[in-house]
Amino acid sequence: MTNIKIYTVWDSGVRWFHWINVLCVIGLIAIGVVILNAKLLGVSNEGKILLKTVHVWMGYVFALNLSWRIIWAFIGGRYSRWSAFLPFRQGYVKETRDYITDFTSGRQKQYLGHNPLGRIAVTLLIFLLLVQAVTGLVLAGTDIYYPPIGSWIANWIAAPGIDPAALIPYSKELYDEESYKAMRAFRKPFITIHYYGFYTLLLFIMVHIFAVVITELKEGENLVSAMFSGKKVLTKPPEDEN
């Protein structure tokens, strides 16, 4: 007879972060795709400004939510903390090797927190999200002069006699030409990282969804429902209970 046990694992801080992050990422990707294809879609400059404004405000929610998760990793529950998912603890390499061997041979292990491969995935995900948040905040300032650096950028590129607060995106007659060129050079590496980070994140999300489905099917864990309820239903003694 299968020994089924229910464990409380994910605290509310992790669950709220996860679903707010899902909604933000979906929204940011959708708007980002339209912005990237604005010319093809015939979007006007006014339309692009509106899209970028919505993108930035959604980005603020995304960045604040990510900041909350980083803080929560210091003060949250046992399985929310850095020590529970960073893949650097002693014996991690051997644990991962054993996990892969058992997984491929049909001897699936179950975990309360993240399994060894899941820890790598979560670490990479947080890094990718952080890169997108930082580069996005810089681009918010260089694109539509929004905080945190928008005021500095506007003061940098405003033409003599023009109030920096009156700058409008795509209105080059308001800009000092040389300063604007220098600003665009400053902006270039950030937009390049943000652009390729966007596609990397898309790929990562697809891999993440695939891994969750495979893990649910092969290991029998309720990964998706656990992120709603906070409770995992396991049929084997968890490897990380102690």
| Residue extents of the structural domains in the chain | 5-234
pLDDT of residue 23 exceeding 60: yes
Token pair recorded at residue 186? 């400053």
Neighbours of 165 (CB within 10 A): 10
Which 3 state secondary structure label does DSSP give 43? coil
CATH of domain 5-234: 1.20.950.20
Output the pLDDT for position 2: 58
Residue whose tokens read 């708007």: 31
Output the pLDDT for position 217: 79
pLDDT of residue 32 exceeding 60: yes
Mean per-residue pLDDT of the chain: 91
pLDDT of residue 221 exceeding 80: no
Q: Characterize 190-204 residue by residue with b for buried, 16 or more Cβ atoms within 10 angstroms of its Cβ, and e for exposed.
A: bbebbeebbeebeeb
pLDDT of residue 18 exceeding 60: yes
Residue whose tokens read 């980070």: 197
Among 129, 128, 152, 122, residue whose Cα is nearest residue 140: 152
Q: pLDDT tens across 63-112, in order?
A: 999 999 999 999 998 999 998 888 887 888 888 898 888 888 877 788 88
pLDDT of residue 132 exceeding 90: yes
Q: pLDDT tens across 154-194, in order?
A: 999 999 999 999 999 989 899 999 999 999 999 999 999 99
Output the pLDDT for position 4: 85
pLDDT of residue 146 exceeding 60: yes
